[in-house]
Structure 1
Amino acid sequence: MPEFTGGLLSMEIIAVGIITVLAVISPGPDFAMVTRIALARGRRAGVFCAIGIGSGVSVHLAYTLIGLGVVFASNVWVLTALRYLGAAYLIWLGLSALWPDIRALVGKKNSANAYNAVTDAPGPDQNRNGEVHNSRSAFWIGFACNALNPKTMLFIVSLFSQVISPQTAVWQEIGYGIYIAACHMIWFALVALALTLPSVQARIAAIKSWIERAVGLCLAGLGIKLLAS
């Protein structure tokens, strides 16, 4: 690259670094999802959810790098479809977190399942298979949460069209993409690790169910807000 490899490139790297960190740590559906998964399923599932969120960013990066991001962003029907899909997914996740309360309200008790859980204790192999399934499920939940988020799409498209210069080499853009995905994975993995520390767990043990309810309401509320926007 010619002259662009000087101060302008350094400013671009700094801008991408700062903007990405600020965007990642700002509260949103991804934060709510990692919180819910980590509190409900444990540290391992929370970390896998974080990896899924970072992997979901790659979907937006892929079509942006091949030039489709601007096309999608400029077509209302694409944004509308993605908004409806993302909103429906968030509402479904929120309702699934509130489902035990909803089921209790309509009078359906789950005593049979509780009895089976006590009498049929799983063996080591079942526990191992359960952990693998739990981690895989958490990964795909995080992946879908980010891949269906229209705000992530607009963030990536805006970053690559307004902050990153057209003169930037492809390998540099790929490097930015890896950095953005890594920031998502690292930040949300740290959130999951922090929420599952023994000291934190001891403090929130009495209100853990209420936190999950609040997160469920938050996810459903974000979905409704996304539909209304």
Structure 2
Amino acid sequence: MSSASIFISIIAALSIGAMSPGPSFVMVSRIAVSRSRADGLAAALGMGIGGAFFSILALAGLTALLSQFEWLYIGLKIAGGTYLAWIAINIWRGASKPLDIGETATMKPAPGRSFITALLTQISNPKTIVVYAGIFAALLPKTVPLGLMLALPVGVFAVEAGWYSIVALAFSAHHPRQIYLAAKAWIDRTAGAVMAGLGLELVVSGVSGR
């Protein structure tokens, strides 16, 4: 199989995974709908860089280190789950606070903050690197051409940033914002509950060694 065919196969597999609902989707959609389109796109950029970072670690063989030192993997899971739970608590606590969006918006866009929040959310789940490593192991040849190795992080960035840019553009549109404003408390509490559940699952899986 040619390097181009291998690259396309890997990107296709990663695209399906990126579109699966998870903490990243919850975070980017909420940032886009509650802040601004610029914030949503900054969050998408954070997701892309986080994904590229994990892909580089997977190619570098960090997964072998994590499998050798199980305590390190467990610690990363617990830390990541705790971070997601902390985000969930903040979302829940702010659910009842009114938010004015539009020309008289009181919340100024903060793309830098949104970028960091999204980046930390992306890298808070060490399972991502295991997924990348699994796909790489299944589809990459024993000897990986240098060009393919350099192209993969770029491809992963394009997949993650591209998908979440679509999410950001969709949720920052006028109609979704009006829906969010009309039901902010319920939407935020639902988002907080989902995020808390994902964080708890990560912590439990770490403690149980799964």
Both proteins in one fold, TM over 0.5: yes
Q: Where in structure 2 are the equivalents of 1:1-229 lying within 5 Å?
A: 7-100=1-94, 130-131=108-109, 134-229=110-205
Question: How far apart, CA to CA, are the structure 2 residues paired with 1:40 and 1:203?
Answer: 11
Give 2:158's aligned amino acid: A
- Farther-moved stretch of structure 1 (192-201 vs 17-26): 192-201
Give 2:33's aligned amino acid: L
Q: Is the 8 A contact 2:58 2:130 kept in 1?
A: no
Give 1:86's aligned amino acid: G
Give 1:58's aligned amino acid: A
Question: How far apart, CA to CA, are the structure 2 residues paired with 1:73 and 1:12?
Answer: 26
Question: How far apart, CA to CA, are the structure 2 residues paired with 1:79 and 1:54?
Answer: 22
Question: What is the CA-CA distance between 1:20 and the residue it aligns to?
Answer: 0.9
Structure 2 unmatched ranges of 5 or more: 98-103, 206-210
Question: What is the CA-CA distance between 1:81 and the residue it aligns to?
Answer: 1.1
Q: 1 or 2, which has the higher helix percentage? A: 1
Question: How far apart, CA to CA, are the structure 2 residues paired with 1:73 and 1:153?
Answer: 12
Question: How far apart, CA to CA, are the structure 1 residues paired with 2:48 and 2:67?
Answer: 21
Question: What is the CA-CA distance between 1:41 and the residue it aligns to?
Answer: 1.4
Other structure's SS at 1:27 match? coil
Question: What is the CA-CA distance between 1:47 and the residue it aligns to?
Answer: 1.1
Structure 1 unmatched ranges of 5 or more: 1-6, 105-109, 111-120
Question: What is the CA-CA distance between 1:203 and the residue it aligns to?
Answer: 3.8
Q: Is the 8 A contact 1:73 1:154 kept in 2?
A: no
Question: What is the CA-CA distance between 1:177 and the residue it aligns to?
Answer: 1.4
Question: What is the CA-CA distance between 1:75 and the residue it aligns to?
Answer: 2.7
Q: Which of the two has higher C-alpha Rg?
A: 1
Question: What is the CA-CA distance between 1:221 and the residue it aligns to?
Answer: 1.0
Question: How far apart, CA to CA, are the structure 2 residues paired with 1:199 and 1:33?
Answer: 19
Instruction: Compute the TM-score of the two structures, normalised by the length of structure 2.
Output: 0.85
Question: What is the CA-CA distance between 1:88 and the residue it aligns to?
Answer: 0.5
Instruction: Compute the TM-score of the two structures, normalised by the length of structure 1.
Output: 0.79
Aligned identity (percent) is: 26
- Farther-moved stretch of structure 1 (153-162 vs 57-66): 57-66
